[in-house]
Amino acid sequence: MRKRLGQHFLFDKNMLNKILNCSDVTANDTVIEIGPGLGTLTNIMADRAKKVIAIEYDKKLINKLKENVHQKSNIEIITADALKFPYESIRGKVKVIANIPYYITTPLIFRLLEYKEKITTMTLLLQKEVAKRIVASPGTKDYGVLSISTQLYTKPSLRFIVTRKVFVPPPDVDSAVVHFEVSPVPLYKISDLSLFKDIVKTAFSQRRKTILNGLKKFDGIENVLQKTGIDPKLRPENLSIDDFAKLSEAIK
């Protein structure tokens, strides 16, 4: 068990089955499990899925992991960094299930979304606070760049909270399971994604400012807001993804 890797193992079978039930894994599915640890969930998953590809970064765990899952012929173990793994090397569509170390949560989600044409769903065990930000709606304090970036390509839903007490060793905070339905294309009409992302990041980098003052760097922003019918006095957290999409189309 290596603390520097942010590992917190989950052995509670009821909780693991609950996570698996959220994932909608069937006998036709190939599942990528990121961070299998000692293989408790891996074994349960192998009874439901066609194939489980378990990606483990910690070389010290590999032998024990192989020993724990050796009776299942449909499990493949790969020693690799999930942030660098070439997911395109796996044939066909896949579902992802992961108990993610907190410190790589955001970069790993964005890495997986690079393969949105291959990955159909993701069921991720995340830090509760991050989960709340991912599923947040406009008008809430948790809504921001992370909410918009993930909801641009996915429909995320927070399924349930997992108390820190069920982990070994227990982390400092509670976790939550978030299930993502992944779309291969944006769920909103946006013709210039880089401009859209620039507008969102600029707005939220000054989230206390009104949308008019926060987006001053974009020429003619006052006219654009008037044209799109967006109140210039609103703050960025009050704008929906649709609003930001309209802004980017009008600025373009």
Q: How many domains does the chain have?
A: 2
158, 198: one domain: no
Residue 187 falls inside a structural domain: no
Nearest to 146 by CA among 132, 157, 155, 134: 134
CATH number at 35 reads 3.40.50.150
User: Residue with structure tokens 């839903």?
Assistant: 157
177, 238: one domain: no
Note every long-range contact of 105-114, with CB atoms under 8 Å and residues 24 or more positions apart, other chains counting: 105/130, 106/130, 106/146, 107/83, 108/34, 108/82, 108/83, 109/134, 109/150, 110/149, 111/82, 111/83, 112/87, 113/150, 113/153, 113/154, 113/182, 114/87
Dihedral in degrees, nearest 10, Cα atoms 48, 54, 60, 66: 50
175, 199: one domain: no
Of the residues 163, 182, 201, the one at which a domain ends: 182
Look up residue 91 and give its DSSP letter.
Answer: -
> Which residues contact residue 4 at a Cβ distance below 8 angstroms, ignoring those fewer than 6 apart?
none
Residue 79 falls inside a structural domain: yes
131, 159: one domain: yes
pLDDT for res 146: 96
Q: What is the CA radius of gyration of the chain?
A: 20
Q: Which domain holds residue 111?
A: 3-182
89, 161: one domain: yes
Residue range 137-193, pLDDT digits in tens: 999 999 999 999 999 999 999 999 998 888 788 788 899 999 999 999 999 999 999
Of the residues 141, 163, 182, the one at which a domain ends: 182
169, 204: one domain: no
pLDDT for res 6: 52
| Run of H or E residues at 51 | strand 51-56
155, 199: one domain: no
87, 34: one domain: yes
Distance CA 176, CA 172 (A): 14
What would the mean pLDDT of 52-59 be, rounded to a whole number? 94
197, 170: one domain: no
What would the mean pLDDT of 2-27 be, rounded to a whole number? 80
pLDDT for res 123: 98
What would the mean pLDDT of 228-246 be, rounded to a whole number? 96
Residue 188 falls inside a structural domain: no
